[in-house]
Amino acid sequence: MNETEPLDHSVCKATVRPIRDALDVLNGKWKLPIIVALTFGEKRFGEIAKEIDGITDRMLSKELQDLVANGLVRRTVEDTFPIRVTYALTPHSQSLNEVIESLRKWGILHRAYLVNEEK
């Protein structure tokens, strides 16, 4: 390394990568609503759909697949008739609690800040 300049640069990238990873997992319009809906306990596909205003079957299905792929949600098919599919948060999803809580707190703080500024 010849100069100090590239230092910032690589530190910067190394810092941002995990942050982006995290945001990517949580992103999309419906991921958080789904996760929050499931914090009240295991639910069926139709129940989640009813809980979340405006979501379509297509999006619910897609986002659930994403969450399952990321190990945050468990999908269980009960072999009844008609079949019954339930979704629930996984133990791994608990690790998100701190993240979600800090986002929630900051969202509230920031809204208060904006209201105060616009006076």
Binding residues for DNA, rule: CB under 7 A, are 27-30, 44-47, 54-59, 61-62, 64-65, 75, 82-87
3-state helix, strand, coil in the chain (%, to 5): 65, 10, 25
Strand partners, 56: none
Alpha carbons 93 and 75: distance in angstroms, whole number = 14
Binding at 95: pick from a copy of itself, DNA, none (beta carbon under 5-8 Å per type): a copy of itself
Alpha carbons 75 and 31: distance in angstroms, whole number = 15
Name residues contacting a copy of itself, limited to 10-39 (CB under 8 A).
Answer: 11-13, 15-23, 25-27, 32-33, 36-37
Binding at 111: pick from a copy of itself, DNA, none (beta carbon under 5-8 Å per type): a copy of itself
Collapse the DSSP code of 30 into the 3-class scheme (helix H, G, I; strand E, B; otherwise coil) and give the result: coil
Alpha carbons 72 and 35: distance in angstroms, whole number = 8
**Binding stretches for a copy of itself (CB under 8 A):** 8-9, 11-13, 15-23, 25-27, 32-33, 36-37, 40, 51-53, 70-71, 92, 95-96, 98-100, 102-111, 113-114, 117
